[in-house]
């Protein structure tokens, strides 16, 4: 019998044919250039590729020159793009680390840095710019959160047009992050979820990841510092299951310490652990 006649016979006999749904491959695993101990260095691209990562998150710099971010230079951006192409790796996002110095919640200059980061991130084809809120920059009350939401509401149209997402990484709850997102009123503003920060803040990370869902998370940081992944407080099997269950397929970047002081050995160890969970 031909394949066609077999199919016709099955249909005639009432057999129901089912097509298997495509397997959810889960997130892509990247790494931060600062945890490779190569903050703002193009060599981080080659090292991340050598270690087997899918992408590398790059810093935009904390020390401006002539009122410009260090990465606000098309020639430097071209070098990063060339390196990524050469090593077959993605630039998985950028980090606007100058917000550790100029705080978005109370510094007008910070608004300029966010605006400047959008075209840089777009040019790098990185997709997501991380906006950090830590230390003195932390969001401590709803008034500060509302102010940030207002700033992002002004900046979001440019991000939407450029195809860039502004990612909120902070120490507040998932609910408060969504409050900012809703007030900003743009799909270009999402949560940059860090399982280590949220655990330190006393939040149930598995519950928050499932509640947020893939549509409200732009990227993630995976860490349980100062431990190797799987050897600290965080239940990483449960975390990775939650991440895959919600259908998140963006970048989850390792922001892990190096207990042995060997970047290559420790990053390889943590990457293998995460990949084993995903497998």
Those residues of the chain that have pLDDT short of 50 are: 3, 6-7, 10-11, 13-24
How high is the pLDDT of residue 5? 53
How high is the pLDDT of residue 8? 54
| Nearest C-alpha neighbor of 245 from the set 204, 196, 201, 278 | 278
How high is the pLDDT of residue 25? 65
- Per residue in 240-255, pLDDT (tens digit) is 999 999 999 999 999 9
How high is the pLDDT of residue 16? 38
Rg (CA), the chain: 21
Domain chopping of the chain, boundaries: 24-278
CA distance 1 to 225: 62
- Per residue in 61-87, pLDDT (tens digit) is 999 999 999 999 999 999 999 999 999
The CATH number assigned to the domain with range 24-278 reads 3.20.20.150
pTM as predicted: 0.90
| Nearest C-alpha neighbor of 166 from the set 177, 80, 70 | 177
* Three-class SS state of 131: strand
- For residue 166, list its beta bridge partners: 129, 189
How high is the pLDDT of residue 9? 53
How high is the pLDDT of residue 3? 47
């Amino acid at each position: 019998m031909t394949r066609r006649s077999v199919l016709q016979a099955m249909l005639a006999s009432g057999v129901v044919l089912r097509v298997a749904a495509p397997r959810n491959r889960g997130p892509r695993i990247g790494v931060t250039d600062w945890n490779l101990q190569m903050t703002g260095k193009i060599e981080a691209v080659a090292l991340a590729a050598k270690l087997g990562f899918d992408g590398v998150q790059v810093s935009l710099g904390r020390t401006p020159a002539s009122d410009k971010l260090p990465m606000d230079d098309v020639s430097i951006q071209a070098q990063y793009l060339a390196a990524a192409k050469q090593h077959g790796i993605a630039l998985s996002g950028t980090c606007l680390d100058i917000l550790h110095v100029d705080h978005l919640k109370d510094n007008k200059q910070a608004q300029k840095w966010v605006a400047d980061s959008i075209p840089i991130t777009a040019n790098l084809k990185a997709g997501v710019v991380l906006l950090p809120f830590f230390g003195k920059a932390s969001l401590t009350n709803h008034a500060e959160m509302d102010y940030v939401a207002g700033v992002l509401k002004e900046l979001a149209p440019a991000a939407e047009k450029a195809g860039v997402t502004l990612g909120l990484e902070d120490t507040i709850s998932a609910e408060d992050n969504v409050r900012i997102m809703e007030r900003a009123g743009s799909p270009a503003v999402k949560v940059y979820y860090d399982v280590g920060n949220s655990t330190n803040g006393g939040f149930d990370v598995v519950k928050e990841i499932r509640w947020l869902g893939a549509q409200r998370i732009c990227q993630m940081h995976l860490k349980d510092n100062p431990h190797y992944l799987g050897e600290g407080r965080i239940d990483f099997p449960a975390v990775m299951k939650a991440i895959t269950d919600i259908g998140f397929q963006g970048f989850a970047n390792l922001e892990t310490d190096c207990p042995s002081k060997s970047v290559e050995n420790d990053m390889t160890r943590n990457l293998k652990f995460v990949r084993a969970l995903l497998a």
